[in-house]
Structure 1
Amino acid sequence: MVDTNPPPTNSADPASDLYDQNQLTLPPNALQTLIYEHLVHNCYSETARAFNASCRIDSHFGPDEKRLELDDDGDVEMSEGVTAAQTLEPRKRVWEMIVKGQIPEAIEFCNDAFPGVLDGTTKESVDILFELQCQRFVECVRQRCAVDALAFAQEELGKFIFHGPQYLTALNRIIALIAYADPETSPVAEFLSQKRREEVATMLNSYILSYHSLPPTTTMERIVRQATVVREALGEAPKDGKKSGKPQHPKWQLSILVGEAGV
């Protein structure tokens, strides 16, 4: 159950008091909805369904609305006005392919499930396609296929130079992987990390959502970003320990902002 009452004025966080003075209130199930949106956005499909069933959120997993399903060939039929929940399953499948290093398969499936996303007709589309192709090169290096990696760099990655000089700097860093006998211990080893795969998967996931006129970030993330800016404006303690002359407040916490509402 969510406590929708505003936090008391003697809150430990002055920023929370400011929101209280503006009579901030939360609608019923606000926190559950934020959590559910986060789960759907980040492709936690099983957890999202279980959470929705437990909290009885009025969502697009409801019985009266049809979700997009994958057929035996892995294809989906898109329509206008789709929701994040409706695109969840195909987005999850693309995500899983990328984090497993299956980049060609991810690109092929994305083209089938979300036509136009990777067509290269916009700067954003070129950017995400560049990241995917760079990751494909990285996977070749990971498999110790230096010859294939070099050929791929020449045939495919080189094309992006014609889209703008900004790609050249990134290409030089990534291609440097083949210059090291042990790339895992090289100065550019971060490209071989699992974190890098997840970053690329996140980029594509966000772009698929924005391509369908859906928010590329969750409401929870936007709240945190805004709250961070507010805290900086109020003047937190500087990292160097010197006094800035501005009032110093406790570290921002989401639970304080929403009055320590519990789920």
Structure 2
Amino acid sequence: MDDFSSSGVTGPPDDAVCQLVYSYLVHHCYKETAKALEASAGLSKISNNTESAEDQEAEGTTGNELGDIELRAPIYKHVLDGNVEQAIDLTNRMAEGLLSSRPDVYFELLSLQFAKLIREKNVLGAIKFAQEEFSSCDSMSSSDKETYLEKLQDLMSLIAYEEPAASPAGEFLTEEYRQRVADTLNGALLAFNKRPSQASLERVLQHTTLTTDRLAGSGICPRFNLRDFLNS
């Protein structure tokens, strides 16, 4: 896991919390909310006073992060809306070479397009698409190829069902699956541009959970549960 000593989150506790929330909003392309928080909390002033240029670059908050959203947000939305061809086209223009270097991400996008054809009951189109496009598995490593061949088998099983959404592989047709693919591509885009692929707030939560799990294992404290914490 990443070391938070160089995460770029500094300053008084309230400022640090604002920066954590702000980086989360920027990471997930909530531009208007991020702008509102930036203005109300004076984050530009906080950042300028408390972070070095190196810290800002490491955290991906170098002052042009809102402009970065302008590039990522349309791709993110296209994936959520199931417009895979547009998402791929914009990705290739914004980050040339990303999808060829990340066949796993490309596979996820192709799986969404296949699922879209299934939802439209275009079975012949789905079969033709699979035959033409899923050759990207060939460029994967042996371990990745095995994983994605299993996933491809599950995906192809949708063809056999009259009601594919109710099948064991029905998750490929859900909004939740599109959300996961959108998050995966978004993280890949950030990493491609030398930014953290995971929001600092999410890393803080992971560290907190891991730490309390270890302490709980020693009987020092109960395990951390986010839902219980929010309801407390």
1:135 to 83, 106, 112: 112
What CA distance in whole angstroms lies between the structure 1 residues aligned with 2:104 and 2:16?
Answer: 35
Q: Closer, same or farther in 2 for the Cα pair 1:34/1:253, shift >3 Å?
A: farther
State the partner residue of 2:43.
57
Distance 1:150 1:82 in 2: 46
Distance 2:224 2:126 in 1: 46
Aligned AA (1:252): F
Residue 83 of structure 2 is matched in structure 1 by 102
Distance 2:220 2:173 in 1: 41
1-side partners of 2:136 and 2:21: how far apart? 41
CA distance in 1 between counterparts of 2:72 and 2:63 reads: 13
Deviation string 1:169-209 (CA, Å, 9 cap, x unpaired) is 11101111111111011111111000000000000000000
CA change 1:250–1:159 in 2 (3 A) is closer
Q: Which has the higher helix share?
A: 2
Q: Mark the runs of 5 or more structure 2 residues left unpaired by the alignment.
A: 1-8, 49-61
Amino acid aligned to 2:124: V
* Amino acid across the alignment from 1:105: Q
Whether 2:92 is the aligned partner of 1:111: answer yes
CA deviations 1:73-96 (Å, max 9, x no partner) are: xxxxxxxx8954331112110011
Residue number in structure 2 paired with 1:13: none
Higher relative CO (CA 8 A, sep ≥ 6), structure 1 or 2? 1
Structure 1 residue runs without a partner (length 5+): 1-24, 63-80, 237-245, 258-263
The match for 1:212 among 184, 190, 193 is 193
Tell me by how many angstroms 1:126 deviates: 1.0
> Greater CA radius of gyration, 1 or 2?
1
Percent sequence identity is: 31
Q: Which moved more, 1:195-204 or 1:225-234?
A: 225-234
Instruction: State how far apart, in whole Å, the 1-side matches of 2:138 and 2:132 are.
Output: 12
Q: Give, in angstroms, the shift of residue 249 of structure 1.
A: 1.7
Asked if 2 retains the 8 angstrom alpha-carbon contact of 1:82 and 1:212, the reply is: no
Please tell me the root mean square deviation across aligned C-alpha atoms, in Å. 2.5
Asked whether 1:168 is paired with 2:120, we answer no
Q: CA deviation at 1:168?
A: 1.1
* TM-score, structure 1 normalization: 0.70
Inter-partner Cα distance in structure 1 for 2:33 and 2:225: 25
Does residue 200 (structure 1) correspond to residue 181 (structure 2)? The answer is yes
Give TM-score scaled by structure 2 length: 0.78
Aligned to 2:59: none
